[in-house]
Chains A and B, each alone.
Chain A
Amino acid sequence: MACVEAPLLTSVLSEVTAASRHYVDRLFHHDPQHVLQGVVDMKNAVIGNNKQKANLIVLGAVPRLLYLLQQKESSLELRTECAIVLGSLAMGTQNNIKSLLDCQAVPALLQGLLHPDLAFIKACLGCLRTILTSPVTSVELLYTTPEHQTFLFSNGAVPTIAPLLASPIYKVRIEALKCFAVLTYENPQVSLALVDVVVEGEGDLLPQVFVRMMRRDEPIEMQLTAAKCLTYMCRAGALRPDDVVIVLKTLPCLVRMCSKERLLEERVEGAETLAYLIEMDIELQRLASITDQLIPTLADYFKYPTPVSPIADIKRLDHDLKHSHELRQAAFKLYAALGANDEDIRKKVIETESMMDQIVTGLGDPILKVQLAAVRCLHSLSRSVQQLRTSFQDHAVWKPLMKLLQKVPDEVLMVASSTLCNLLLEFSPSKEPILESGAVDLLCDLTQSENAALRVNGVWALMNMAFQAEQKVKTDILQKLGSEQLLRLLSDSDITVMMKTLGLLRNLLSTKPHIDWIMSGHGKQIMQIVSLTLEGAQDPEVTEQTLCIVANIADGTLAKELIMSHTDVLQKMKFYLTHSNVKLQIAATLCVSNLAWHEEEGALERQARLRDLGFVEILQQLSQTGDPSLADKVKTALQQFP
C-alpha cells in the first residue's frame, strides 16, 4: 500500500511546491510593477495559511523579500508590501521565526525604522514585534550594534520603559528589565544616563530599583537580570566598582546564582556575569574569592549534573546532560577572572580538587567554547612564577597548549599565545620542551599576522624567550625572524608591537659576548634602527626603550666603538640628558656610564672624546638633581672620568 500512496503524496507535494514556486519566481521579474503585484499576491496567499508560509520560506522567499525591502531602487510601496508579507510569514510557526532570524531579518527591519514614511515604519515594527515576542528569539539580537542602542535611547526608550518597572504585572516588569540589560551592555552613554533616572511609581532612582529587584524573595530570573543591569552599568563606567550597590548587593547576588540549588542555566549565567563584573578589578576579584565559598562551589560545575530534586524530572536531567559543557566553560571563565591578578587566589584555584586535570581536559575539549574558556583559565594561572615551576610542570600543560596552537580560530590562538608568552619565561621549566617543539617558527609566523593582537603576542613571546637566553636561542630567533621582519615590526602601526620589538632587541643585546657577537653581524642595521627611532619617536616610552638598547650596546667591549662613531646618536644622548622626562635622563646617563666605563679597554680615549663633546659638564650640572635614582646614576657616571 505504501508504494501506491507514496507517488500520490509526492505528486500532491509537487503541485503545492509548483504553485508556491510561482510566487517566488515573480519576485525576480525584471519589471518592478510585476514584482510589486507578485508581492501583493503573495501577501494575499499567505494570510491564515501556515502551509503556504512554510512552502514559501523553504523556496527562499525570505532572502529575496529582505533584499527588495532594503534596496534603495525599490519603490516605497514595494518595500512596505515586503515588510507586510514578512510580518505575515512571522505569524506562522516558530520554525518560521527561526528562518527569519537566520536570514538576518532583524537588522534589516531595524534599519527600516529609520525611514521617514510612517506606513513603512509601521509595517517593519509589526514584523519586529512578532519576531521579538517569540520565545525562540534572544533579546540580545535586537541590539546588535551600539548605534541601535543609542537610536532607541535617543528616541525616548528609557522614559517609556522605566515606568514599566513599577507595573503590577510581573511579565511586564521582567521584559522592561531585560530591555535595560540590552540597552546598557557596553554602552557608557546609556549607562551613565540611567544613574539619575527616577522611576515613577517606585519613587526611586533606577539603580535602587534594580537593587530591590535583586532581593532573595524575587524570582531568580528577576534577580539575575537586575544584577546584569548593574554589572553592565559598572563595566560601562556608570557605577564605580567600589560602590556599595556593586560590592554589597550585585556581587553577592551573582555569587548566590552559582549555588548548587540553582538551575543549570542560572548557574551558567550567574558565573558568566560575575566573571564579566570582576575581570578588570582586583578588589572585586578578592571579594568574590572570599564570598560564600565561591571557589569550591565552582568546582561542582565540573561534576556530573545532578537533578535538583530526588524525583528526577527526566526532561530536566536530559537537558542538563546535553548542556553540561555550558557549566564547564562558565566555571573556567569565572576561575580565569578570579585568578587574573592575585597570587593568593591563584593558589586557591589551583588547589581546588583536580583543577589542573580539568584544565588539561578542557584544552582538548571538542567544543570550542569550552576550549577557549579553559585556555583563558590557564592564562590567568600562568601569571605566577610558583605555578609555572610546580603545577604547570607536574601536569606538563605545555603539551596540550602547543597542540592547541595548531589550526585554531583566532579567538583561541589569541589566548593560547598569550599563555605561551608566560610559559617561555626563563624561570619556566616548560621553556625548553616548548622551544624544542618549534616555538620560534610558530612565533615568527605569528608576527606576520594581519591581526595586530596576534602580532603583539608573537613578538611579546619572542621577547620573553630572549630574556637571559643562551646564544643559540638568540641565533635561532635572529635567523628565523630575519632583519627585514624586525625592521617591519619596529615600524608597526600598533605601538605595542613596536615596544615589544624594542624589548626583544634589548634582550638580544644583553651580556657582553652576545652584544659583541650580534653587533659584529648586524651592527650597521641596528645603529640605523636606533638612530631612526630616536629621531622620529613621539612616545617617551619608545624613546626610553631605544636608549636602553643604546646603553646595552654600550656595554659591549667592541660594540662601544659603533656608538662612538655615530655622532647623531651621541647628540641624541646629550639631548636626552637634559630632557624634562627623568626616565629618559636616567637611560641616557646609563649610556654615558657604559661608554666611559673605566675598566674597559680604550676607556681613556672614549672618556676624552665624551668630555670634549660636553658630556662631563652636563653630568656635573645634573648631579644637583633632586631625583635620587638619577643622582645615583650620574654619580656612577662621573666616577668613570678621571
Chain B
Amino acid sequence: SHANFQCNKVICWRATASIAWAVLLLPPTTAVFVILSRFSIFHPMQWLSECLSLLLSINAIFSLILLSGVIIMVGFLNLEYYTVIPTIACSKIALLGQLLHPRQFFSSLVHGVMGMVVGWCCAVTVGGRYETLGYSCQQSDDGGPSQMCLNEYHLFLLLSGVFMGFSHSLLGVIHNMNYVPFHTIQQYKYLRFKESIPLVVKCSASQALYSMRNFIVLYFFLGHIPKGWICQTLQLEVDRSAHALDTVGGLLDLSLLYHTWISGTFLLFTWYTTLQLFRIFVTEVSFPVQSSFTDNAHQCLAKVIAEKQPIILKFLALQDLALLSQHSPLRRAEVFSLSQPGGHPHNWIAVSKECLSLLSDLTQRLVTYHDTVATNGRAKSLSTGSERKNSCLGVCPLHHRRRLLQPLTAPFTPDLDSPFSSPALRRLTAPVEQCSPWHGTVQSPHIARRGHKLWSTSAGEQQIESTAPLAPRMTSFFVFNVQLPEASSQALFADSQAHIWALEGLSYLVQASFTEDQFGVVQTTLPSILSSMLVLQEAVDRHFKLPHASSKPVRCSSTMGDCSYKTLRFALRAALKTALYRITTTFGEHLNAVQLSSEHRKKLQHFLEYKE
C-alpha cells in the first residue's frame, strides 16, 4: 500500500544516510591505518612524510573508491539482513542449519569477496613487499632468464582478508549481529556514535587477533592449496630462494603478523562502524500523533502502530508511544483528544487496542507453551489445518516463522527472485498478508507441534521439507539436537521489547489520565487494561516457575553482537510489575470502583498493599 511504501522509504533513507556517513568516515580511518601500518619509531619525519605522500597518491584514491564500494555493499547487506527480533537457535543443529543456510552462505561468500578486496587495498597501502602479487625473480643462480614469481606476502594478506570476511559473517550469525537492539536511553546520534567508538575499536582489534590466530593455523596446514592453485592459474613460479610462509619459520615473522592484524582490525573497524551507524540511524524515530496534514496522515502513530509491516516501524511506533506517554504532555493530550466531528477517541482506541492485542498475544503464547511443557513436550497433534510448523518446544512466536519465511527461504522457492534480489525491495512491494510477521498471531494455539525440530525457531516449512531428506535422523543427529538450555524461553520472549513498550506506554497513559484525561476516554478501557495485565502477570509468573526460565544467561562479553535479547524475559517481568504498580499507586483506592472479577480484585489488592 501507499502508506507502507512511504514508511519503508523512511527506513531506506535512514540506511542510506548511515551508509553515507560510513563512507565519509572512510578517509580518516584509512589515514589512521596508513600511519599505523607504516609505523617506524626511528625515522618519525620520514614516516610522516611517506604517509602523507601515500595518502595523496593515485593508488590511495583508487583504494578509497574500492573501499567505499565495499562499505556500500556492507551497508546494503546490513539493510538486507537486519532484524529487530533475534533469531534464536534452540539446538546446536539449528545453529548449524542457520550457518549452512543458502541465504546465509551467500552472505558469507559476499563477505569473503569483500574481505579480499579490503585485503588487496591493505596490501597496496602498506606497500613494500606486500604491494604486488607477482614479481620478477631469478629462478636459477646462474643468471638465467627472469620469471614472474608469486609474492606470497601479498597472497597472505588477500587470504587473511577473505578469512576475516568469512568468519565475520559466520560469527555474525552466532552472535546475532544482524539483530538491531533498541537503546536503553535516548541520545543524540552523534553522542551515541561517539560513545560507541571505543567499543568498536576494542571489538575489532580483539576479533582481528582471534581471527588472525585461526587463519595462521589454517594457513599452516592448508596454505599450499591456494598457493598452488594461484600459481597454476596465473602461471606464476614459486620463488625457491624466498622463505615459504606456510612453515613455522615463515609465520613467525613479527612484521607480517603485525600487518595482518592491523589490516584485519581496519577491515573489521570499517564494517563494525557501518553496522553501528546503521543501528543508530534506524532506531531513531518520532511520529506525530495526529497530523493536520493529510499528506502525512499515514505516518501518524495511531496508524503506524496498527500496521503489520515492516516490523521495525511497529517497534519504532511502540517506542515512540512509550516515550511520548512518559515525557510529552502535549502529545498525550492528542492521544486523549476526541475527533472533531463525531467526538470519538480514535487515537486512544487505536493505541490501546493495539497494545492490548500485543499483551493478549503474549499471554496466549505463554499459555500454549506451558501446556506443551506440561505434556512433557511430547508430540501433540492439535493440527487444525495443513499448516505444519516446528520450533523449539512446539510453539514459538509465530511471526518468527512468518517473518523469515520469505527472505530466508528465498533460494528454495523458485517463484521468488534470485538470492541477489533484495528482500528489502520485495518487502516494499509484497502484499501485507504474505510477509506480515504479526499476521495471524491469533492462530497460535492452533499450530501443529512436533517433538523434534531440525531448524531454529525461524525455520519455515519449506525449509524443513527441502532439508529433511538431506539430513536423515541418525543417532549422531540427536547428539547435536540437544536443546540449548533456556533457548526456548529466550525464543518465546524474543520480540518482548514490543510488549515492554506497550506496557510502559499503557501504564504511563493511564497514570497521566488521572489528571489529564478530560473526557474520561481512558476510564472505559481501564478494566480491560487491568485484567489483561493481570492475566499476563499470572502467565509470566507461571512461566518463571519452569526450569531454566529463571536461570540467568551468561553475561556476554563485549562483542558487537548485542545480547540484550537474552534477558528480555526478565525485563518484561519487571516492566509488567512496574506497570501494574504505576496504575495502582496512581489510582489507589479508586480502583475498587473498577469492574473486575473477584480473582483479579484479589490480585490487585496485593499490588495495592505492596505485597507482590
Do A and B come together as binding partners? no
